[in-house]
């Protein structure tokens, strides 16, 4: 694949950020429903599978981009944040598929998912700001 121009890369990065932000909102909503026990396992399973697919699609679409030399660092930051989000989603998936016989493990997975989502948010905000400011130039 040929190297993208800076502008092309930033536009695709912004698109990935928007898509990823939507997935982060969905997983956040799901975690809250699970913590409040307002969702059954079957519905949670359907939601988490959809979120997993969305995050994986965003990751694989973004991973193959060839950024210009001056944007490689940004590319890696975005990929790293996507991996963190994937880890949160995977932990939540583990929470959903654990049987009720493993309450302690389930609680740990839900907490891990929530903590990883918080970590993702901390990584994601500065990246969003950086992409927005670079697009304005």
CB 133 within 8 A of CB 12: no
In angstroms, the Cα distances linking 107 to 49, 50, 103 are: 19, 22, 6
| Max intra-chain CA distance, the chain | 55
Tens of pLDDT, residue by residue over 40-62, are 999 999 999 999 999 999 999 99
pLDDT value, residue 107? 92
Which of 2, 12, 27, 131 shows the shortest CA–CA distance to 77? 131
pLDDT value, residue 102? 84
Instruction: List the chain residues with pLDDT less than 70.
Output: 1
pLDDT value, residue 1? 60
Which of 65, 59, 51, 61 shows the shortest CA–CA distance to 23? 51
Whole-model pTM?
0.94
């Amino acid at each position: 694949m040929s190297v993208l121009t800076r502008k092309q890369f930033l536009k695709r990065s912004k698109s990935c950020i928007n898509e990823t932000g939507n997935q982060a909102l969905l997983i956040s909503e799901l975690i809250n429903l699970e913590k409040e026990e307002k969702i059954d396992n079957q519905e949670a399973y359907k939601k988490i599978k959809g979120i997993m697919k969305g995050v994986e699609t965003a990751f694989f679409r973004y991973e193959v981009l060839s950024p210009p030399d001056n944007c490689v660092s940004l590319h890696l930051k975005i990929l790293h944040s996507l991996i963190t989000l994937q880890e949160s989603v995977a932990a939540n998936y583990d929470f959903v598929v654990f049987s009720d016989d493993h309450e302690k493990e389930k609680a740990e997975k839900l907490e891990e998912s929530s903590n990883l989502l918080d970590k993702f948010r901390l990584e994601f905000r500065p990246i969003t700001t950086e992409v927005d400011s670079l697009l304005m130039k």
